[in-house]
Amino acid sequence: MGLAVNHRPCDYRPMTENALHIIKLAVGIEDAGHLAAVQDRRLAESVSMGHGPRLFHATRNQPRRSAELLNGGSIYWVIKGRIRVRQRLLDIETDVDDEGRRYCRLMLDPVRVETHPWPHRAIQGWRYLPKESAPPDIEPSEGGEDMPPEMAAELRNLGLL
């Protein structure tokens, strides 16, 4: 669970029916909790610098299918070889860095939704992820919040959670 723009906890948000997504490696991230801590720190830094609560991931290549992504799409984070977390894409901003190179910011909803941990190979950059290939969210009522993600995933695979 993350913080909304008004800094209050948000509830679970399901994805839209026809969403197109992006998949991306979370390089240097150990688990979903570590991703949350890193992003919460970045969000706090953005607020303290007077930019407001802006959470984004910068990338060199702007998605050509931006309109589809912004129609309810999410970024799915691969952590340690498994898709573990998704975040809604709120906007895509383009800019130019100090050296004149173009890049874009994938503006992210601070709310992180854990997914069933699906294996995924390493990729360079990001890739489109069709809705039918995306792992299902872990519904808040599914339990397992108090155990390690790997154990909860194994119990779900066995039909015990």
Amino acid at 138: I
pLDDT confidence tier of residue 14, bands split at 50, 70 and 90:
low
Residue 152 corresponds to which tokens in the numbers above? 């909860």
Please identify which residue in the block is written with the tokens 């383009």.
94
pLDDT of residue 159: 57
CA–CA separation, 92 vs 123, rounded Å? 21
47-106 residue pLDDT tens: 999 988 999 999 998 999 999 999 999 999 999 999 999 999 999 999 999 999 999 999
* Per-residue b or e along 76-87, where b marks 16 or more CB atoms closer than 10 Å to that residue's CB: bbbbeebbbbbb
Is there a contact between 103 and 59 (Cβ–Cβ < 8 Å)? Answer: yes
CA–CA separation, 25 vs 30, rounded Å? 11
Judged by average pLDDT, the poorest of 36-40, 106-110, 123-127 is 123-127
